[in-house]
Structure 1
Amino acid sequence: MPPALVRTLGSRDLTLLVVGNVIGSGIFLVPASVLLQSGGSLPIALGVWLAGGVLSLMGALSYAELGGMDPGAGGLYAYIRDAFGAFPAFLYGWTLFFVIGAGTIATLAVAAAEYLTQFTPLSAVAKQGVAIALIASTAVINVRGLRGSAAVQNVTTGIKVLAIVALSLLLLGLSLGGDAATVANAPPPAPAVTLSGVGLSVIAVLWAYEGWQYVTFVAGEARDPQRTIPRALIVGTVLLIGIYLLANVAYAAALGTADMANSSRVAGDAVTRVLGPTAGKIVALVIIVSMYSAAHGTVITVPRVYQAMAADGVFFRQLAAVHPRYGTPAVAVLSSCAWAAVLAVSGTFEQLLTYVVFIGWIFYALGAAAVIRLRQTQPGAVRPFRVPGYPFTPVLFVLAAAAIVGNTIVAQPRQSVVGLGMVLLGAPAYAVWRRRTTAAP
């Protein structure tokens, strides 16, 4: 009997995986643009962050029902397959492998190497070497066992969460009533708040929350997945909302809303304002850890989709293999990381992600819509968790995802067409794999 994936992830592991996958660099950069698009009003900006968090929670609640129904590997890929068929599910996995997953890993590794230059000078070649070393380290750790890779993820996620919370509380404590600019005395910047500006800021916030759904990919290795997957999705998303709101209030307390809205490095500027210029390196170190943690979480999760696709006979057959000693989809992990390293060295990941990353939201919408579809086609299925507020909860998330996709198409029509074309390149590949699967004895 061939080796199989082992259920080793508990509720804490899964919750930290949700948080670790989401927090990358967004919370260190995005708050400034959100505040600017909110007309410099901190209450409106905080409302936007809360709204984005609630919409993400609606998606998490929808996926929690699906995770309870289908505790196997593959997560979102499997939900789309079961609700809407093998072809759209394959296109999601295809895009995830060649662009979104590998591109995300490459982006985080390259960015972490760039931030390292704040501590020591690095040539262009050296930065590429650092990025490849970071990717290689995640590959080795993940091949050698899920339990060990989860431990690394738990530690790095814990470090960045504690650092963000501690820095936020420190900024609040030293800023309010002190010499630093405060929320109360800071004049609002231009432009004035507009409905379109708030809409754009909601989209930016939803990007900052993106990544919580990756935990569904490892459902096949979760202990008691009908209980732990829903709990991790809900608890992790609620924690993210709290962390993001706290950080925004702290930035505003340190900088004032005017300076915060016009900052290109809001976290670094806030810490520098309160603690001095040398303290900015603290933020750089936190960002490096944060990016590594997000990259590591991506390497933990996305190869499980490729392994599930290969097991279905619609991807490279070797990727279905489970390592006989370590119990991991080793070939899928190594293939994903190797392709990420190629993208990192070539520098093409930025262009690829620009074209297709918005398409991920089409599939996220299909995931939430799968709740409705499977309620209709499988009414008698066991559902240990049922999404509250059905059908409004999944419908609102689908509409939010549609807004992101629609805004991208309107704002960048040429890039959108190219991106859709790149995704549809998977169609002939799918036809080949299906033909082989059908022809197999």
Structure 2
Amino acid sequence: MEQRRQIGLAAAIAVVTGESIALGIFLTPAAMAKSLGSPALLAAVWCGMAVMAFSGALCYAELAIRYPRAGGEYVYLREGYGPRIAFLYGWMSAAVVDPGIAAALAVGALPYVETLIHLPPRLATFLPALALLAICAVNYAGTRLSSGVMATANLLKIAVLVALVAWAWLSGHASSANLLPLTVRRTGSDPLFAAIAGAIVSAFFSFGGWWEAGKLAGEIRNPKRNLPLAFTFGVLLVTVVYLLVSAAFLSVVPVEHITSNTAFVAQFGEALFGHAGGRVLSVCVLLSVLGGLLALTMAAPRVYYAMARDGEFFSVFGRLHPLFGTPANAILLQTCMALLILLFGAFDRILAYIIFSAVCFLALSVSTLFRLKEPVRRWWYPAAPIVFLFCAVVIALLILLHSPVPALVGVTVVLAGGMLLRRFSGTTAQTAPATQSSLP
């Protein structure tokens, strides 16, 4: 049974924006602005990260056109560097990254739910798990249903964020004077190099996820047209939203008044909406988290599905549901792993461990463009992959300097997947489908 192409352009764009715009946009601008001490520096960091993301989006669009199959980076790495590297990426995704992000978003949303509704302690404990199960059910029940819900949630999220920006200015609470002087660093800012380094890493985290649309390539209608549009337009939309929201935040709450991330959200909400500000901002945060969870739970299982179809993972995860046509078992695996991480409460530490490895795999995926038998003939080549690879190396070095132990532990966890690879190495050659490779 083959996957049906049921995902349109709007849903593909929603995957890009949904993964990127989640909880981070309400938290990272405050920390970045406080550390950098200058609105101009904050805008420069956002724009620099946008250049990296847009360069990567062009590269991923080309790869997705050449390999319009489920799996995204797994497919690109398999074609470029063989099954061993691809398996390690899939292992990292299945065991740590995807369920860790899902667990982090679910738990991160809980305080905002509690500002809207008083929850008994027992229900509050189980609410993140119930949210993950509900989103799992939506994705299990059909790609058409899940893509429709996900696209609606993410487009509504963007509309709400734009409305927040508009209200900040129309209500008179925002003042351009709070942004001035644009280039002068405020008293109390961190040392310049440390501030820029920390802000770059935070910006990368906030932009993270734009690449997820490639994992759905096997189900996107007219992929040669829709995938490049989804990647490029999605990244541009995320960039515009981040610049507008950051400007609105700092126009309402000046840099020198920021004390902490959580306090900043409360400050912004109260300034715009008075005593109801916390509740209004909580709704905005929950919309962002919901859109991110829906996009993640839709895209991530396609990696495990693709691995199983290639004979490099348990075959049960390579089956489509006979009625819904979804990779149902892979969706259940992703949800079960997220629930397990919730149980142990270790999602924050796990996320710290895998970021370095994630950057390395992104760079490897982009570098496959240089290994294609049929060379890329685009106006942006080879500038885009070179820019992306340079930025990835810089970010990886910054992470190593800032958190060497978690980075190295993350690498160890990923390499440990090589032991599991032996379980499938004997069957891969027999079960892997014959694919036409464009690589030597």
TM bracket, shorter-chain basis: over 0.9
Deviation for aligned residue 1:54: 1.4
Query: What residue is the counterpart of 1:294 in the other structure?
Result: 292
Query: What residue is the counterpart of 1:69 in the other structure?
Result: 66
Deviation for aligned residue 1:182: 2.6
Question: 334, 337, 345: which one pairs with 1:336?
Answer: 334
Question: 119, 123, 132: which one pairs with 1:135?
Answer: 132
After superposing the two structures, state which structure 1 stretch, 251-260 or 294-303, moved more.
251-260
Query: What residue is the counterpart of 1:149 in the other structure?
Result: 146
Deviation for aligned residue 1:440: 7.0
Question: 230, 233, 237: which one pairs with 1:235?
Answer: 233
Superposition pairs for residues 202-241 of structure 1, below 5 Å? 202-241=200-239
After superposing the two structures, state which structure 1 stretch, 304-313 or 185-194, moved more.
185-194
Alpha-carbon separation, structure 2, partners of 1:387 and 1:268:
47
Query: What residue is the counterpart of 1:437 in the other structure?
Result: 428
Deviation for aligned residue 1:177: 7.3
What is the SS of the residue equivalent to 1:74?
coil
Amino acid at match of 1:394: P
Query: What residue is the counterpart of 1:273 in the other structure?
Result: 271
Structure 1 residues 134, 322: CA separation in 2 closer, same or farther (over 3 Å shift)? same
Amino acid at match of 2:44: G
Deviation for aligned residue 1:307: 0.4
Alpha-carbon separation, structure 2, partners of 1:264 and 1:109:
17
Query: What residue is the counterpart of 1:379 in the other structure?
Result: 374
Contact 1:114 1:127 in 2 (8 A): no
After superposition, the C-alpha distances for 1:77-130 in whole angstroms (9 at most, x for unaligned) are 101110111111111110100110011111111112232111233355422311
Contact 2:201 2:399 in 1 (8 A): no
Alpha-carbon separation, structure 2, partners of 1:177 and 1:426:
51
Amino acid at match of 2:61: A
Alpha-carbon separation, structure 1, partners of 2:214 and 2:259:
35
Alpha-carbon separation, structure 1, partners of 2:344 and 2:111:
16
Alpha-carbon separation, structure 2, partners of 1:263 and 1:332:
35
Query: What residue is the counterpart of 1:53 in the other structure?
Result: 50
What is the SS of the residue equivalent to 1:365?
helix
The two structures have a TM-score, normalised by structure 1, of: 0.92
After superposing the two structures, state which structure 1 stretch, 394-403 or 226-235, moved more.
394-403
1:30 to 2:53 alignment: no
Contact 2:71 2:303 in 1 (8 A): yes
The two structures have a TM-score, normalised by structure 2, of: 0.92
Task: Give the number of aligned pairs.
Answer: 430
Structure 1 residues 192, 296: CA separation in 2 closer, same or farther (over 3 Å shift)? closer
1:86 to 2:74 alignment: no
Structure 1 runs not aligned, ≥5 long: none
Alpha-carbon separation, structure 1, partners of 2:392 and 2:274:
41
Query: What residue is the counterpart of 1:182 in the other structure?
Result: 178
After superposing the two structures, state which structure 1 stretch, 110-119 or 181-190, moved more.
181-190
Alpha-carbon separation, structure 1, partners of 2:306 and 2:174:
56
Deviation for aligned residue 1:260: 4.0
Contact 1:53 1:206 in 2 (8 A): no
**Misfit runs of 4+, over 6 Å:** none
Alpha-carbon separation, structure 2, partners of 1:138 and 1:261:
35
Structure 1 residues 257, 388: CA separation in 2 closer, same or farther (over 3 Å shift)? farther
Structure 1 residues 227, 130: CA separation in 2 closer, same or farther (over 3 Å shift)? same
After superposition, the C-alpha distances for 1:152-207 in whole angstroms (9 at most, x for unaligned) are 101111221111110111112234677x9732389823226624422331221111
Contact 2:25 2:242 in 1 (8 A): yes
Contact 2:28 2:261 in 1 (8 A): no
Amino acid at match of 2:95: F
Alpha-carbon separation, structure 2, partners of 1:194 and 1:273:
30
Contact 1:128 1:344 in 2 (8 A): no
Structure 1 residues 364, 123: CA separation in 2 closer, same or farther (over 3 Å shift)? farther
Let me know the Cα RMSD of the aligned residues: 2.1
Amino acid at match of 2:244: L
Deviation for aligned residue 1:411: 2.0
Deviation for aligned residue 1:133: 1.1
Query: What residue is the counterpart of 1:312 in the other structure?
Result: 310
After superposing the two structures, state which structure 1 stretch, 115-124 or 425-434, moved more.
115-124
Deviation for aligned residue 1:438: 4.5
Query: What residue is the counterpart of 2:437 in the other structure?
Result: none
What is the SS of the residue equivalent to 1:276?
helix
Query: What residue is the counterpart of 2:436 in the other structure?
Result: none
Question: 359, 383, 393: which one pairs with 1:402?
Answer: 393
Alpha-carbon separation, structure 2, partners of 1:262 and 1:293:
25
Contact 1:22 1:212 in 2 (8 A): yes
Structure 1 residues 124, 413: CA separation in 2 closer, same or farther (over 3 Å shift)? farther
